[in-house]
Amino acid sequence: MDYEQQVRRASGGDVKAFVDLTRHFQHMAFGAALALVNDFHQAEDVVQEAFVAAWSALPSLADPAAFPGWLRGIVRHQAFRVLRQRTLRTVPLSEAQDLPGEEVLPDRLLEQRRQAAMALAAIAALPDKLREPATLFFIHECSHQDIAVFLGLPVATVNNRLHAARSKLKERMLVMVNETLHAHALPDDFANRIGRLIEANGAVIDALFDPNSLPDILSELAVSDEANRRAIAVQVIQRPAGGVVRGIALSPADGLPRGSTVLSSGNQSETPVNLDELAQILPQLAGPSPVAAGAARLLETGIKVIDVMCPLVANGTTILAGELNTGPYVTLHELTYKLKDSPDGVKLFLLQPLWRDAPPGWSLSDAFKEDGFADIPRGEVQHFFLRAGDGPWTTSRLSPLDPFDVVIRFSRQLSGARIYPAVDVLTSRSRLFQTNVLSDEHVAVAERARQAIAALSAAGQHAERATDQTSTDALMLERALRLQNYFTQPYFVAEPWHKRSGATVSLAESLRTCRDILDGRYDDLPADAFYFSGGIEEIRGNAGRPLTPGTIKPAPAASGPSMFRVQLLLNDDFVPISFLMPALERIFDMDRAGAMLLMRHSYRQGKAECGVYPAAVADAKAKELQDVAHKYGYRLSCVVEPVQPG
């Protein structure tokens, strides 16, 4: 290896060159550290710190030929610092019983530890001038020439010292030392863990690594902030191209200079991203929203429930939120597959919960390969992966995601009933409904569909309220069930699992079929015929087929109110119009005049009716307004009251 040329390139910021240098010298550095600290784990820490320091200081090295000795000096400096800090912990004899006992360990592990201790003791007993070359040789069978270069000695001197070291170690101990040091050598990927900071823009961190050995998505990095003697934890959210990885700092990252060392831990990040901070840095990650810029356009995907109920914004942002195994991961890749040839781009953000039962060594990148997703071309589609906390995605938990153009929420209840994709149309939303982009028919059909599915959900979840279900109600619920089943659809990327060809349905057909279902045109077809299919022609051929997966069925007919009134109660002397009017317009789908009239009435009377809805919709709208008001410190309440028949 021409290490001098690599030193020159690394001094100029070439990460790959520094990785090559690390790979070539890592075992010798480890041997030098081990010869001093006499502890495998501490020696590895010493080497890591030494290469961090070397990367930062490399531009100051005047003579590239001096690199081996210069690196050895850094290793020794780091090792002596460890030795100065090393203290022996002592405990009273009365506490000895509380210490971990070796007798509980497996016999094999005990034997390995005993041999390691004996090998280290044998090395430590060698004279100083023999200890380092012997450790370098045994740790990874470094060549005599490499040892000579690293130690700055003639090859003949190295030969003599190794011969002397062997003669001082008995034959049996020689074998034990050789085997033990080999077993505790640095991992092969050690060199690939080191990268360089390209830019820190607030909480957004860009770092450069070897393109062939990138840190995994959602793994954790540490940026070395030497000036403040700290390490900044970073969660990898994207791997754009060319060895660049993008991450979000999990603690304040002000003042990090370009060129700072970035270390890959190799472990998955367990820290959920702060959703409020994510909203603040969204423009840095994805650019300005086309909706805010007045340039919004619909991006058709061929996925029925998404195109009708939460349509994507061309070149906008979409975030997918759901618990484990509810479908956001597969939907992200299905969207990528369907949009790979589209001239319009989209930024897809996936909130990924931590898989706590993942097998050792599991990585998201490996999962992509195993699932067949790694080879899907992305075209203009960008992926961002974010660690999410545990628990359901309630309305209040989704509220910090307001800056995203589209929010698609996946339901545990729906996925449990094998409704795929398990998109909850009551809490998912698209900002296109706040624009003039969508046709009047689209807006009307989506609202009718939302009310129908809300009524279906209410019939199952609020059976105690449904005490007066008429034949008309039952017919409406049956149509709602057809609609919910119609929104199910096989994915192309999931064909290996469900053994069915994927489906694509145009927006025009989806809108037409939704309208016809709600108008009763397909009352002659059983609800099961609509399940997990594509267009209406396929559905017509499904009549009479057995339905293996379950669906969410409406509750039995009962008597009682089916609609509920949302009442706004003001508990404060003043709630600003600047807050209340936009909230009423958005949540209750009011125009400006209607919102103004309601506010006047509420200020005079202390309460006002916001609208009448099916139970589940009324509950959701009331909760959303209260959550938003409380978030901004205003006191108001929403009461849901039954509307009595007649």
Q: At what angle do helices 592-605 and 577-587 cross, to 10 degrees?
A: 120
pLDDT in tens, 545-584: 665 544 444 334 434 455 778 888 765 445 665 667 777 8
- The residue assigned the tokens 């590239």 is 64
Four-CA torsion 604, 606, 607, 608, nearest 10 degrees? 10
Cβ neighbours of 238 (radius 10 Å): 20
* pLDDT for 106: 47
| Residue 400 CB coordination number (10 Å) | 16
Coil vs helix vs strand at 613: strand
pLDDT value at residue 104: 39
- Which CA distances in Å does 330 have to 90, 310, 320, 321, 489? 54, 17, 11, 12, 13
Q: Which amino acid is at 182?
A: H
Give residue 52's pLDDT band: very low, low, confident or very high (50, 70, 90).
Answer: confident
Q: Identify the sign of the CA torsion 356, 306, 583, 453.
A: negative
Which pLDDT score is estimated for 569? 75
Q: Transcribe 527-592 into DSSP letters.
A: GGGGTT--SHHHHHTTTT----S---PPPPP-BS--EEEEEEEE-SS---HHHHHHHHHHHTT--H
Please give the helix or strand (H or E) that residue 617 lies within, else none: helix 615-631
pLDDT score at 398:
92
Residue 468 is given by DSSP the state: B
Give 436-440 contacts, CB < 8 A, sequence gap 24+: 437/296, 437/297, 437/298, 438/298, 438/311
Give mean pLDDT, residues 615-636. Answer: 73
What six digits make up the tokens of 52?
């961090």
- Helix, strand or coil for residue 290? coil
Long-range pairs for 144-152 at CB < 8 Å and ≥24 separation? Answer: 146/28, 147/28, 149/68, 150/25, 150/28, 150/32, 150/68, 150/69, 150/71, 150/72, 151/69, 151/72, 152/68, 152/69, 152/72
Which residues are within 8 A (CB) of 308 and not within 5 positions of it... i.e. 6 or more apart? 442, 445, 446, 449, 487, 507, 510, 511, 514
Q: Could you tell me if 558 and 462 are in contact, meaning their C-beta atoms sit under 8 angstroms apart?
A: no
Answer yes or no: are the C-beta atoms of 313 and 296 closer than 8 Å. Answer: yes
pLDDT at 298: 98
Alpha carbons 557 and 463: distance in angstroms, whole number: 9
The 3-state DSSP composition of the chain as helix, strand, coil percent (nearest 5) reads 50, 15, 35
CA 207 to chain centre: 18
- pTM of this prediction? 0.71
DSSP single-letter state for residue 436 = S
Say if residue 490's pLDDT is above 90.
yes
Q: How far apart are CA 326 and CA 84, in angstroms?
A: 53
Answer yes or no: is pLDDT of 233 > 60: yes
Chain centroid offset of residue 403 CA: 18
Q: What sign has the CA pseudo-torsion 113, 115, 116, 122?
A: positive
Average pLDDT, the chain: 83
- What is the chain's alpha carbon radius of gyration, rounded to the nearest angstrom? 32
Considering 3-17, 139-153, 300-314, 627-641, the range whose residues carry the highest mean pLDDT is: 300-314
Cis peptide before 421 (omega within 30 of 0): yes
Of the ranges 301-315, 321-335, 471-485, 571-585, the best mean pLDDT one: 301-315
d(CA 62, CA 129): 28
Q: Are 47 and 75 in contact (CB under 8 A)?
A: yes
Strands across the sheet containing 563-570:
607-614, 563-570, 636-642
- The mean per-residue pLDDT over the stretch 90-96 comes to 45
pLDDT band at 465 (very low <50, low <70, confident <90, very high): very low
Q: Is 400 left (phi over 0), alpha (psi -120 to 50) or beta?
A: alpha
Of the listed ranges 106-120, 325-339, 343-357, 426-440, the one predicted with least confidence: 106-120
Helix (H, G, I), strand (E, B) or coil at 45: helix
Q: Which domains does the chain have, with CATH numbers?
A: 3-86+107-183 (1.10.1740.10), 190-271 (2.40.10.170), 296-357+372-431 (3.40.50.300), 445-540 (1.10.1140.10), 563-642 (3.30.1390.10)
Residues 54, 64: Cα–Cα separation, whole Å: 13
Report percent pLDDT > 70 for the chain.
Answer: 81
